[in-house]
Amino acid sequence: MDEGIEQHLAAGRHARAFDLVVPAFQDKVFRLAYSILKDRPAAEDAAQETFVRVWKALPGFDGRAALGTWIYAIARNTCLMELRRRRPTVSFDDPDSDEAHRAAAAVATGPAADPERDNLLRLLETLPHNQQEAVRLFYLEDRSYEDVAEQLGMPLGTVKNLLHRARKRLMELARPDEVKAA
Amino acid sequence: MKDNDLPGPCAGYEFEIVELHEGALGPEQTHRVRAHLEGCARCRDWQAQYAALDASLARALPRLELSADFGARLRERLAGIADPTTRRDLRSVAEREHDWMVRDLRRAARRRAIIGGVAGAAIAGTAVALAYTLGPEALAFVRAAQITIGPAVLGTLGGAAMFGALAWSAMRGMLPGVRLPG
């Protein structure tokens, strides 16, 4: 944790600590939210909500866990609540539904239309959720296993294993004929 | 089927090929794995597929950055929330004020009860003393007053005094034995 943040927290200067917390964690919180929600506007909203919760709860932060671990746990909970909130209204069939707009926005966050990329993202969607999240976060975080482990609250070995299984599965899915032949 | 037709690398080289790709192997291991790759088409093929998938995922999941106005929007949201460093202080101040108010009200009620009791005892004592002292003379004085002033005037004066006392009590929010609302 940033020493300045630690000192301000220890001295009870929570507002000053928060001023340092936001720039230190905002990008990682946003990318963690994106890896879960797969939608840029929703991920930004979740990041905002996360920091509002951090702001409210910071005076109660007791330092038992690392600050980053605590913030990422709040971010994950915020995203899971958003997913639960969405669930009853999910409708991919309705082109005017919120979910359809989100999906379109998610595809639109990358480079221009690219069938290979779209196909790869579709294959990624077929993986178990924990593997999807690990893969997204790993590439969004410039291939850092340590960052992914910290943000997902998992041991490093678990993250490496998840990623390895996910990429192996993606390779199999990308060449189904060869796998079947084998 | 020939061994080289099987999907995936040779047993024991899978993780090492990944780590070689990520630059995570030491010099000796790097040399050993490279030597193996030179002589194994199956592992070379798997390595090429792995590298292609890695590059595709990196392209499909570029590092995202937050919107430029993220901080401003967050500050706007937080502006409506009390400073967490002072919320507790404000609460304790409010609680202290409430305690003081209750204590003052209790003191005032005790003071009023004591004064009322003393005054009531004094009035009763005076009335009893006057009755004993004046006795028949007092009765003769009232009769003389009735004759001199007239019963109507005496009654009017008594009634006016009574209504004046009631009005004064009502202005203070009290009637004898009754607490007025508001």
Tens digit of pLDDT per residue, chain A (182 long)?
Answer: 567 888 888 888 888 899 999 999 999 999 999 999 989 999 999 999 999 999 999 888 888 888 999 999 999 999 999 998 887 654 444 444 555 455 445 544 545 567 888 899 999 999 999 999 999 999 998 888 999 999 999 999 999 999 999 999 999 888 765 444 44
Number of domains forming the structure of chain A: 2
Same domain for A83 and A12, yes or no, is: yes
Minimum-distance CB partner of B61 among A15, A43, A140: A140
Assigned domain for B74 exists: no
Question: How far, in Å, are A126, A161, A169 from residue A122 at the CA level?
Answer: 7, 22, 13
What's the pLDDT score for residue B125?
83
Number of domains forming the structure of chain B: 3
Residue contact A117–B18, C-beta within 8 A = no
Assigned domain for B116 exists: yes
Give B175's strand partners.
B178
Q: Centre a 10 Å sphere on the Cβ of residue A60 and count the other Cβ atoms it contains.
A: 9
Q: Show which of A69, A94, A109 is a domain's final residue.
A: A109
Same domain for A95 and A165, yes or no, is: no
Same domain for A56 and A127, yes or no, is: no
Q: Show which of B60, B79, B108 is a domain's final residue.
A: B60
Same domain for A53 and A134, yes or no, is: no
Which residues numbered 102-131 in A keep a CB inside 8 Å of some CB on B? Answer: 109-111, 114, 116-117, 120-121, 124
∠ CA A165-A42-A60, nearest 5°, is 90
Assigned domain for A34 exists: yes
Q: Any chain A CB within 8 A of the CB of B1?
A: yes
Residue A170: closest C-alpha in chain B: B53
A143 interaction partners in chain B (CB closer than 8 Å) = 22, 58
- Pairs of residues, one from chain A and one from chain B, whose beta carbons lie less than 8 Å apart: 110
Assigned domain for B71 exists: no
Terminal C-alpha separation, chain B: 98
Cβ–Cβ < 8 Å for A29, A52: no
Q: What CA–CA distance (Å, rounded) separates B57 from B51?
A: 10
CATH of the domain at A155: 1.10.10.10
Residue B159: which domain range?
A: 136-176
Q: Show which of A109, A137, A157 is a domain's final residue.
A: A109
Query: Which residues have CB under 8 Å from B44's CB, separation 6+?
Result: B37
Residue A14: closest C-alpha in chain B: B85
Residue with tokens 């926005």: A105
Residue A56: closest C-alpha in chain B: B84
Query: Which residues have CB under 8 Å from B151's CB, separation 6+?
Result: none
Same domain for A102 and A116, yes or no, is: no
Assigned domain for A182 exists: no
Which residues numbered 10-29 in A keep a CB inside 8 Å of some CB on B? Answer: 12-15, 18, 22-23, 26-27
Same domain for B8 and B55, yes or no, is: yes
Q: Centre a 10 Å sphere on the Cβ of residue A165 and count the other Cβ atoms it contains.
A: 15
Residue A123: which domain range?
A: 111-176
A114 interaction partners in chain B (CB closer than 8 Å) = 59-60
Q: Give the residue among B47, B45, B49, B68 at the shortest CA–CA distance from B57.
A: B49
Cβ–Cβ < 8 Å for A21, B84: no
Same domain for A101 and A20, yes or no, is: yes
Residue contact B66–A27, C-beta within 8 A = yes
Cβ–Cβ < 8 Å for A33, A78: yes
Question: Min CA distance, B163 vs chain A (Å)?
Answer: 60
What's the pLDDT score for residue A156?
93
ipTM over 0.90: no
- Judged by DSSP in three states, B174 sits in strand
Residue contact B78–A55, C-beta within 8 A = yes
Assigned domain for B54 exists: yes
Assigned domain for B65 exists: no
Cβ–Cβ < 8 Å for A4, A114: no
* pLDDT tens-digit readout, B83-115: 655 555 555 555 666 677 777 778 888 888 888
* pLDDT tens-digit readout, A121-149: 999 999 999 999 999 999 998 888 999 99
User: Which pLDDT band holds residue B179 (cuts at 50, 70, 90)?
Assistant: low
Q: Show which of A91, A109, A127 is a domain's final residue.
A: A109
Same domain for A55 and A131, yes or no, is: no
